[in-house]
Amino acid sequence: MPFTRLDGNIPPGMKLSSKGEYALRALIVLGENYERGIVRIQTISEQQRIPKRFLEQILNDLKSGGFLESRRGVAGGYRLARPPEQITLAALIRHIEGALVPTPVLSEQGRRTIQPPNEAQAAIRSVMKEVREAILEILDRVTIADLCDRVRRLRSEAGIATDYVI
């Protein structure tokens, strides 16, 4: 699923898979509950409408990446391994999606031509490089805590009460 803005339009050159979006949504739930501790997988699945089996795979991947800790058993679940202020979107997306290159124009591997780029191609590549750098700068500075703040602000604006059932 593509990464979308609130107005539904996809930012130029930025795609986020379903796995990436679900990972971010799960980490928002865990970030909002960081001080409370362990959150059951069923709670995350229900709150975010993420298929439980897929969520289990994602959370295990995030655990192996050092983003989460887990506890087994009846009182088991997941929690962030670090405070939400210390987990950047860039680190998370790199772990889930791989390299953050927003467009094939910047990828040397996708090139079939052996001719050097002309001035127009070079100009386009330089702009797309600036776009990539801007995206990376934002993703490097935005944390899970920032996303949680945005969620709270959007809930407040919409008049939606927060449900903290764990």
Task: Report the domain count for the chain.
Answer: 1
| Whole-number Å distance between alpha carbons of 100 and 136 | 7
Q: Is residue 6 part of a domain?
A: no
Q: Is residue 164 part of a domain?
A: no
| Whole-number Å distance between alpha carbons of 11 and 25 | 19
Tens of pLDDT, residues 89-122 = 999 999 998 876 555 555 555 455 556 668 898 8
Hey, what's the torsion of the CAs at 108, 111, 113, 119, to 10 degrees?
A: -60
Q: Is residue 11 part of a domain?
A: no
**Which of 73-82, 83-92, 116-125, 135-144 shows the lowest mean pLDDT across its residues?**
116-125
- Residue 70's domain comprises 18-158
Q: Are 151 and 24 in contact (CB under 8 A)?
A: no
Phi, then psi, of 5 in degrees rounded to 5: -85, 170
The CA-atom distances, in angstroms, between 50 and each of 7, 24, 34 are 22, 11, 20
Say which CATH number the domain at 105 has.
1.10.10.10
Q: Pick 111 or 133 by higher pLDDT.
A: 133
Q: Is residue 72 part of a domain?
A: yes
Smallest CA-to-CA distance from 93 within 32, 46, 135, 34 is with: 135
Q: Is residue 45 part of a domain?
A: yes
Q: Is residue 2 part of a domain?
A: no
- Reading the block at residue 106, the tokens are 């910047």
Q: Is residue 120 part of a domain?
A: yes
Largest CA distance in the chain: 63
